[in-house]
Amino acid sequence: MKRMLHTERLRLRAPQPGDEHAAFDGWAQDPDVLRYLGWRPHGAIADTRTQLDWDQARWLKRSAWTWLLVEPRGAAIGLVQLIPQRFDGPAHHLRLGYLLARGQWGRGLMREAVAAVLSEAFAQTPVWRIDALCDVDNHASARLLHALGFAHEGVLRRHSLHPNVSAEPRDVTVHARLRPDGA
């Protein structure tokens, strides 16, 4: 995967030292942004630095790819992540995740960023499937996935912990996009 991608309005790049400030201020401590994710808001900037260090290490191990969404003025405003669903060989199946700072919602930036990441991923020879799990109450995310050509495949009952919503596992919908025929 390429460490740098470009869209009309964004630069997507791997995390680097110093990004923790924008991430902490923009999303890592915001309960609205993290509502349907599997982690609680960070209490200190050191927590955010630890998370971004982990994301950098996974680039090196090829166990996940995280791109920060960076505006033209240089501020990180969100992220998109792909995680291989097979770790013992070439991954044909990737899992998509994303988040965007609340002040950027409604501008179409996540759609633009995810489209670029999907294009890069499907350009990789072994990739045939990219899917995403979406809390049953996260209608905005489900709309984004539908707009990007993901098909709704079903519901996984009591599958994912979203601690900002409930202490109990939540139902999630599965959405998938497959490599285009002939690609």
Number of other residues whose CB lies within 10 A of the CB of residue 6: 11
The predicted pLDDT at position 182 comes to 58
Give the count of beta carbons closer than 10 Å to the beta carbon of residue 125.
9
Q: What are the domain boundaries of the chain?
A: 4-130
pTM of the full structure? 0.95
pLDDT reported for residue 88: 80
Extract the residue ranges of the chain whose pLDDT is less than 50: none
pLDDT tens digit sequence for 64-107: 999 999 999 889 999 999 999 987 877 899 999 999 999 999 99
Predicted confidence at residue 87, as pLDDT, reads 76
What CATH number labels 4-130?
A: 3.40.630.30
Distances (CA, A) of 145 to 48, 58, 121, 176: 27, 25, 16, 8
pLDDT in the model for residue 125: 83
